[in-house]
């Protein structure tokens, strides 16, 4: 794929972030998500790809925009066919409450490179490059912490793991506390939490737990670009979710399979882009500058080269047609 597509993807996540940031703290998570979806869809129109959404906002009858199977990009014959995985607003509750770590994200890969994960839960372990090859989803949380600590040349008391604040993770928390490992809890936004494991300045060594399946595939594209490691398992928590998996072709046997990072995101023709909406540890949020400008911070990665770029941008909002149109639609001028 053309390496210049990296910046094109950033423009798409920037558009979603700029529009959805107007909803910060307003308590309207559905409005924020809808605006982000519309902005991302419009921004994709100018990207020179023949893209198909393999992970999006749902099926056609549930999500009229960026649905699974939708074609995005210019769709001209001279463009490469690619898989697209999107989460226009990862952390809808976060932005509704004005909390940190909501982001807009895209993963893109060559056709057939991204796992078509059902919209169910996924069990995950994620680590940075230094602990690559040291995780095993079939082993206990305690054993995984010990193995990662050994790989990082740290005592377990020097490690920090990140865990979503859910009752289903009590066994992980108990194992970590038994080993004296520091725990950082988060409420929502597991893409941002996952990629934090690959940046030493965040102080996060490891993520464990059960989160969104589609978000897991998006995260895998970033982790692979950064040389980290990830294992996962499709993990339906209800009969309805299991039925959804079966409808997508998953058997009970395949649901028991532990997926490697290469199962989640194949090859190295992968891109990942994210823009901060509300500020977090990794990315600054959208920051207004006066009445007609705003600053954004994004990260874009390419698996083929392992390059990670942070992109700081200042936007003239009076000249951003996507923002202007959507703000009129949502009566937020």
Residue 215 labelled as part of a binding site: yes
Nearest one of 299, 323, 327, 304 to 105, comparing CA atoms: 299
Residue 212 labelled as part of a binding site: yes
How far apart (Å, rounded) are the C-alpha atoms in residues 161 and 183?
Answer: 5
Assign 230 to helix, strand or coil.
strand
Residue 167 labelled as part of a binding site: yes
Phi, psi of 140 (to 5 degrees): -70, 160
Per DSSP, what are the bridge partners of residue 231?
A: 125, 260
Residue 168 labelled as part of a binding site: yes
Residue 121 labelled as part of a binding site: yes
Instruction: Give residue for tokens 């998996």.
Output: 245
Q: How far is CA 306 from CA 10, 235, 268, 270, in A?
A: 17, 30, 9, 10
Phi, psi of 329 (to 5 degrees): -60, -40
- Angle, helices 29-44 vs 5-20, to 10°: value is 150
Residue 166 labelled as part of a binding site: yes
The angle subtended at Cα 219 by Cα 218 and Cα 220, nearest 5°, is 90
Residue 188 labelled as part of a binding site: yes
Question: What residues contact residue 199 under an 8 Å CB cut-off, 6+ apart?
Answer: 128, 282
In the structure encoding, which two tokens stand for residue 278, read together?
A: 């509300």
Residue 2 labelled as part of a binding site: no
Residue 28 labelled as part of a binding site: no
How far apart (Å, rounded) are the C-alpha atoms in residues 11 and 308?
Answer: 16
Residues in the chain: 333
DSSP class of residue 158? G
Known binding-site positions for Mn(2+): 33, 57, 87, 90, 215
Annotated binding site: 33, 57, 87, 90-92, 121, 166-168, 188-190, 212, 215
Show binding-site residues for substrate: 90-92, 121, 166-168, 188-190, 212
């Amino acid at each position: 794929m053309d390496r210049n597509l990296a910046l094109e993807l950033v423009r798409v996540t920037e558009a979603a972030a700029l529009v959805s940031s107007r909803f910060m703290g307003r308590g309207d998570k559905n409005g924020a998500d809808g605006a982000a979806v519309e902005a991302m869809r419009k921004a994709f129109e100018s990207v020179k790809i023949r893209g198909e959404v393999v992970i999006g906002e749902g099926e056609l009858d549930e999500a009229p925009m960026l649905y699974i199977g939708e074609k995005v990009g210019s769709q001209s014959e001279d463009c490469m066919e690619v898989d697209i995985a999107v989460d226009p607003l990862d952390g809808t509750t976060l932005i509704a409450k004005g909390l940190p770590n909501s982001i807009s994200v895209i993963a893109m890969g060559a056709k057939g490179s991204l796992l078509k994960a059902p919209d169910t839960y996924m069990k995950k372990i994620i680590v940075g490059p230094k602990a690559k090859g040291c995780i095993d989803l079939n082993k206990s949380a305690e054993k995984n912490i010990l193995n990662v600590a050994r790989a990082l040349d740290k005592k377990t008391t020097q490690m920090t793991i990140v865990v979503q604040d859910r009752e289903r993770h009590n066994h992980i928390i108990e194992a970590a506390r038994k080993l004296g490992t520091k725990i950082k809890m988060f409420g929502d936004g597991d893409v941002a939490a996952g990629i934090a494991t690959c940046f030493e300045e965040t102080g996060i060594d490891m993520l464990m737990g059960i989160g969104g399946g589609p978000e897991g595939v998006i995260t895998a594209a970033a982790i692979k670009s950064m040389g980290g490691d990830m294992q996962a398992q499709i993990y339906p928590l209800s009969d309805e979710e299991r039925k959804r998996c079966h409808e997508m072709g998953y058997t009970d046997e395949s649901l028991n399979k532990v997926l490697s990072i290469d199962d989640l995101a194949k090859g190295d023709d992968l891109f990942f882009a994210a823009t901060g909406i509300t500020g977090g540890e990794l990315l600054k949020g959208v920051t207004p500058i006066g009445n007609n400008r705003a600053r954004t911070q994004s990260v874009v990665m390419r698996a083929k080269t392992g390059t990670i770029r942070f992109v700081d941008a200042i936007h003239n909002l009076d000249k951003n047609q996507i923002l202007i149109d959507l703000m009129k639609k949502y009566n937020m001028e």
